[in-house]
Each structure stands twice: as C-alpha cells, then as structure tokens.
Amino acid sequence: MLIAIPGLLNAEQVRTLRTRIDAANWVDGNVTAGHQSALTKNNLQLPEAGAEAREAGQAILEALGHNPLFIAAALPLRIYPPLFNSYSGGQAFGTHIDSAVRIQKETGFRVRSDLSMTVFLSDPEDYDGGELTVETLFGIQQVKLPAGHAVLYPSSSLHRVEPVTRGQRVASFFWIESMIRDDGARQTLFDLDSSIQSLAADLGHDNAEIIRLTGVYHNLLRRWANT
C-alpha cells in the first residue's frame, strides 16, 4: 500500500518549519542508521534530541492528528517522533529495508515499523533527483511530491532515495506502528472505509446500507486490531 497524503502541511506551515530547521546544526545521517542502512546512507540529519527536531516534529504530529486520510490509511497506534534529513551534492540513500523496531535512545520509546512516511519539505523544482523509489508488488514506483505533501508506504518494502544532483532535498521521515499489523488487512479496511465515505456522500450517512457497511468495517477492525 503506497498512499500519497496531499497537503498535510500548508505553505505557511512549511515556511515556518523550514525557517526553524534550516538554521539548526545538521549532522551525519548515519547517527540513526542500522548496520545495513549505514552501508548505503549518505545524507545530513537534524540531531534527534535537538530542540529544532522536537518542535518541528510536534508540528507534523499535530497535522497528522487532523488528517482523515492519514488516519484511515495508517490506523496508527504509535508514531515515532519525526526526524529530518537533507540531501545535496550527489548524496543518496541506497536500497534498504527499514529496521523492524525503532527505539528512541533517550527515552526507550519504541515502535514496530509497519509503515514508513516521508513528508516533503522542498518543492520538486528546487532540486534534481532525490526521488523516493519504492519497490512494490506492482513494480517500481517513484515519488517526488510538492512541499507539504507526504507519502505512506510499507516499511517492509525495499526503497531508496535517488542521488540529488542539484539543489537540496529536505524532508521529514518516521515510522508508524499500526493497530492493524497485516498490510493486506489494513488495505482491505482502507478500501472499505473509502467506499463507505464515497457512497455516503451520495446516499447520506443515515442510509440503511451505509450503516450496515459501517458496522462491517468496525467489526473487522475489532477482529483485527491489536491495541
């Protein structure tokens, strides 16, 4: 399941966030890389414990909490505090799979990484390359979205960031532990919820069949949820 989340942040929110993080001191991105990732990772990153990362991350978490598409697609249980990275001058992140469990060193907070998310903080015309390339069952998909837009994809998928050959690519990235561990079940619930919302827009939420389908959705969620 690869889902674009348009307009997670508006233009003013992106400007405010970039003003805050651009002035910070960036470090080698391998500070959070696992053994496999460290072999292919070449970028800069905001220190995870820094005030800039915490404040900017909180702004993204607040936006996620108000985004119905994200909630419907991810069914989040826990979200790892957002991190921030930067690519320029040919930097890239080679093909890898995200670690199954992410642990915050300072607090011990941990999430099972069911889903990965990238929030783009640079517009596509500001840099060349830098596509997020995800290998899916339907082939390779490349994602390069406007600033403020985001993409959600399975953490179990092979993915990479292509070399940035001009300009600078700035983004936030993090992981989500879903209430629904199985990606296929999560996709089924998302498809069902999307269909219910579409039908309700035409028939009304008080339609008997809409109510019945909504009950099916919640019964499946009740059966599959791990809370």
Domains with residue ranges and CATH for the chain: 3-178 (2.60.120.620), 183-224 (4.10.860)
- Per-residue confidence in pLDDT tens, the chain, 227 aa: 899 999 999 999 999 999 999 999 999 987 665 555 566 889 999 999 999 999 999 999 999 999 999 999 999 999 999 999 999 999 999 999 999 999 998 899 999 999 999 999 999 999 999 999 999 888 999 999 999 999 999 999 999 999 999 999 999 999 999 999 999 999 999 999 999 999 999 999 999 999 999 999 999 999 999 98
Q: Which residue has the tokens 């490349």?
A: 142
Give dist(CA 190, CA 57) in Å, integer: 26
Question: Do 110 and 176 form a contact (C-beta atoms < 8 A)?
Answer: no
User: What's the pLDDT at 61?
Assistant: 98
User: What's the pLDDT at 137?
Assistant: 84
Give dist(CA 186, CA 193) in Å, integer: 11
User: What's the pLDDT at 36?
Assistant: 58
Cβ atoms < 10 Å from Cβ of 95: 12
Question: Do 158 and 138 form a contact (C-beta atoms < 8 A)?
Answer: no
User: What's the pLDDT at 121?
Assistant: 98
Instruction: Say whether 186 sits in a helix, a strand or coil.
Output: helix
User: What's the pLDDT at 27?
Assistant: 94
